[in-house]
Structure 1
Amino acid sequence: MIEIYKSNPEESAIIKIDQPEKNCWINLTHPSGDEIGKIASELQIPADFLAAALDEEERPRLE
């Protein structure tokens, strides 16, 4: 499941949005291969970066 959020300072709230945009939070919960591919394509990042986070033996890191 893909959920995308953005801070709305005018309302002091976090709102859900439909498409990724600058300074948003993308929350992937149990993503399918298609969802990983979609986000990787839209954000122009390697799908391996997203898939690595699903590996239970992978250590957390920032790149």
Structure 2
Amino acid sequence: MIRYYKTIEGKLEKLNSYEDGCWVNLVEPNNEEIGELSDILDLDIDSINAALDAEERSRIDVEDNHILILIDIPI
């Protein structure tokens, strides 16, 4: 599931679609959603798939055009 959020007038608002400067929340994505997000953000699919790897560690990667934040939370 893909959800987009953006701070508007000091409040976090849910958006209907991607906008520059928004927060992208991706939870248990399917292949279609991964492809869609890769196209929208001009992001390598491997970066998205890294978040799906159960052995991936929490990290922040700063690239030229994006910041990837991976958070590993035990449930």
RMSD of aligned alpha carbons: 1.0
TM-score by length of 1: 0.86
Q: Identity of paired residues, percent?
A: 39
Which consecutive residues of structure 1, in runs of 5 or more, have no partner in the other structure?
A: none
**Number of residue pairs aligned between Structure 1 and Structure 2:** 61
Greater RCO (CA < 8 Å, at least 6 residues apart): 1
Which consecutive residues of structure 2, in runs of 5 or more, have no partner in the other structure?
A: 62-75
In the TM superposition, structure 1's runs of 4+ consecutive aligned residues that sit over 2 Å from their partners are: none
TM-score by length of 2: 0.74
More strand per residue: 2
- Which residue of 2 is the match for residue 26 of structure 1? 24
